Amino acid sequence: MTRLIVAAGGGGDAVAAAMLHAAQYGAEDQAVILTYAWDRLLIDPVPGPRTAHDFTGLEAITRSVRSVPATARPIAPAGSTLPRLAAELPQTFALLDPQHGVEGVTNQLEELITHLTPKSIDLLDVGGDILARGDEPTLKSPLADALTLAACCRVDAPVRLLVAGPGLDGELSADDLRPLLGPVVHTFTAEDVAPISSVLEWHPSEATGMLAATARGVRGTCEVRDAGLPVPLTAESPRVHEVDLDKALSHNTLAQAITTTTALDEVEVHSREICGFSEIDYERTKATWLKDQPPTPLDADTVLRQVDEFQSEARTRGVTHTTFRRLTEALNINGSQRGDLRQLLLSNHPDQYAAPLWRIPDAT
């Protein structure tokens, strides 16, 4: 039996999809995870999602769908976590290529469904921004989720929409999402996290990292991203809710508007009109800025002093945890040095590691 799981926003959603597959379906069924190669600027210095033309070594599944095996490589300067995920996880990762808009993604889905005849099709979003109207002031990345939602609503096959970790992406709060959520179909546990634990040690996703941490029992308030958004970590956080697919589409204005698009540029135009921005524009601007911020060797004493100062200020904001991405942003360290920062902190204060988050200690 084959299960098809569509990672709504790519990145961490693909990792969460692997966890969902192991938890819900076990080892007896294979899984194909259809996902964007869109790792933002932490891994990939090129703005926007990658297409099949940005890789070598992809393997054909259907006419328009390629898998990303462990031996595939992004073509420089592009970067991607997908080959490494393929090397470390048992699922097959297939590339969702949005260059032809919703029409193109719908075609990829239909080809894959015909080819695989999957036992089930899940559309998985961590955090819940797939349920955004489009005008929420906290919304940061609606484009990818709206595109996959619109495409999944067009295919002639039953698709189950799942939202894991309501509010964990820091875009819509759990309180705002609660009226839109359907029944709980699963609550992740520490046992469920085990199959992806090695991936969490290096993958940059904040939302999936918090999902895993809460499944392991972490509770508190986690500060994330460059803006330092506070995200509550509660007993609700490791839950997976089913949501009516048509209800989600009726709520998502951007998804409705892009249903017949044939190019990613068209999707961006609608995003600017409805949401007031395109997240790819933001990446374009930030990528230009990052070019002028080359990495410099970390000075351990300086960094540890800066971390102490950050933690002292974070405590006054009621923060109990943070992510290594947030720390690199707050300390103005190049994102490519996130791993170096992590190793430095773990070697000096291993007791503060609440995998994969960093715990803010109580005042002494």
**Do 135 and 142 touch, CB atoms closer than 8 A?**
no
> Rounded distance, CA 12 to CA 332, Å?
23
**Do 4 and 20 touch, CB atoms closer than 8 A?**
no
> pLDDT band at residue 194, thresholds of 50, 70 and 90?
very high
Is 27 a residue whose pLDDT tops 80?
Answer: no
What is the arrangement of strands in the sheet containing 92-95, beginning at the earlier edge strand? Answer: 59-60, 66-67, 92-95, 30-35, 2-7, 120-126, 160-164, 239-243, 184-187
> pLDDT band at residue 227, thresholds of 50, 70 and 90?
confident
Rounded to an integer, the average pLDDT of 162-176 is 96
User: Is the peptide bond between 77 and the residue preceding it cis, with omega within 30 degrees of 0?
Assistant: yes
The tens digit of pLDDT for each residue in 113-168 reads 999 999 999 999 999 999 999 999 999 999 999 999 999 999 999 999 999 999 99
8-state DSSP, 180: G
What per-residue confidence (pLDDT) applies to 294?
A: 72
Name the percent of the chain lying above pLDDT 70: 100
The tens digit of pLDDT for each residue in 49-63 reads 999 999 999 999 999
Look at phi and psi of residue 362 and say left if phi exceeds 0, alpha if psi is from -120 to 50, else beta: beta
Give me 298's structure tokens: 């970390």
Rounded to an integer, the average pLDDT of 258-280 is 97
What per-residue confidence (pLDDT) applies to 241?
A: 98
Which of the two residues, 105 and 226, has the higher pLDDT score?
Answer: 105
Q: Hey, is 2 helix, strand or coil?
A: strand
Q: Locate the domains of the chain by residue range.
A: 2-257, 300-359
Q: What is the pTM of this model?
A: 0.96
Q: What is the mean pLDDT of the chain?
A: 95
What per-residue confidence (pLDDT) applies to 153?
A: 98
**Do 121 and 113 touch, CB atoms closer than 8 A?**
yes
Is 363 a residue whose pLDDT tops 90?
Answer: no
**Do 185 and 25 touch, CB atoms closer than 8 A?**
no
